Amino acid sequence: MRPQTAVRRIKAHSPFLLSGTSIIGVAATAYLAAQSGYKHARRMSEESPFMSAKDEAKLVWKFYIPPAVSGLATTACIIGNTRVNSRRTAAAQAAFVLGERAYSEYRDHVIAEVGSTTEQKIREKVAEKQIVDNPPSNAILAIAGPGNVMCYEALTGRYFTSDMETLRRAENKLNERMLKVDYQNLTDWYEYIGLPRTSMSDDFGWNADKLMELEFNTVMSDRGQPCLSFEYNYVKPIR
């Protein structure tokens, strides 16, 4: 393996390596501290019990060098891991925002070129393709809302029962709440419509700078059953 390739692989896996090193470091520091305490006690058993604290420190300080070095190294690994993860999170959030902005601009240009009616038809075709690739017959249908219409959330690919009126009321409720507290995340939204949270739902959502809007498409499922597919006008990282 070339040195450049090895360096790239180490950088790519640095959070894992730093986490593992930190765990080993904590255990090593604890072991070395115990050993130092034992050596300290054994040495002092050989000395006068009337020795001053200053003289005792001069006599045993070197026993504590190994755990101190191990502790400092472990702390450095923990701090390094935190910084790496923070940089990667910030980069991912920046990329997400830029991607969302580019998509918004792209969509505006598409509407300007082909018109809103044609753009709506294109979105319906995309929704149909998503449902063909992830048919409800192979998915779990959650009983979420009071309605009995099969709904499809494009972001997570989940099916559930509700209806457009219920979803619109939840949209208004979320935006009303967002104007009061400045932001709402996907977890909040899922609570409004009766869906379980996901691993990413706490970290993404909307803020009061731009309200959330639902965009609906009605398509046919593989069962020949009407399906109300919806997506959001935007979703962004929320911190």
Q: Are residues 123 and 201 in the same domain?
A: yes
Asked if residue 99 is part of any domain, the answer here is: no
Asked if residue 190 is part of any domain, the answer here is: yes
Q: Are residues 8 and 68 in the same domain?
A: yes
Q: What's the CA angle centered on 150, arms 194 and 144, to 5 degrees?
A: 15
Q: Are residues 69 and 162 in the same domain?
A: no
**What is the percent of the chain where pLDDT is above 90?**
21
- Residue 25 belongs to domain spanning: 3-93
Mean pLDDT within 187-192 = 95
Q: Are residues 88 and 56 in the same domain?
A: yes
Q: How confident is the model at residue 41 (pLDDT cuts 50, 70, 90)?
A: confident
Q: Are residues 122 and 216 in the same domain?
A: yes
Pick the last residue of a domain from 60, 93, 126.
Answer: 93
Name, in order, each residue with C-beta under 8 angstroms of 73's C-beta and a sequence gap of 6 or more: 25
Q: Are residues 72 and 158 in the same domain?
A: no
> Is the distance from CB of 150 to CB of 167 less than 8 angstroms?
no
Asked if residue 106 is part of any domain, the answer here is: no
Asked if residue 33 is part of any domain, the answer here is: yes
Which DSSP string do the residues of 59-87 spell out, in sequence order?
A: HHGGGGHHHHHHHHHHHHHHHHHHHHHHH
> Is the distance from CB of 184 to CB of 206 less than 8 angstroms?
yes
- In three-state secondary structure terms, 206 is strand
Report the DSSP beta bridge partners of residue 153.
158, 230
Number of independent structural domains in the chain: 2
Residue 81 CB neighbours (<10 A) = 19
The pair of structure tokens assigned to 25 is 């470091």
Q: Side-chain half-sphere of 43: how many Cα atoms within 13 Å?
A: 16
Q: Are residues 233 and 119 in the same domain?
A: yes
- Summarised one tens digit per residue, pLDDT across range 166-177 is 999 999 999 999
- The pLDDT value recorded for residue 95 is 46
Q: Taking the model in full, what pTM does it have?
A: 0.55
User: Average model confidence (pLDDT) for the chain?
Assistant: 76
Q: Are residues 208 and 122 in the same domain?
A: yes
- In three-state secondary structure terms, 2 is coil
Q: Is the pLDDT of residue 142 over 80?
A: no
**What is the percent of the chain where pLDDT is above 70?**
67
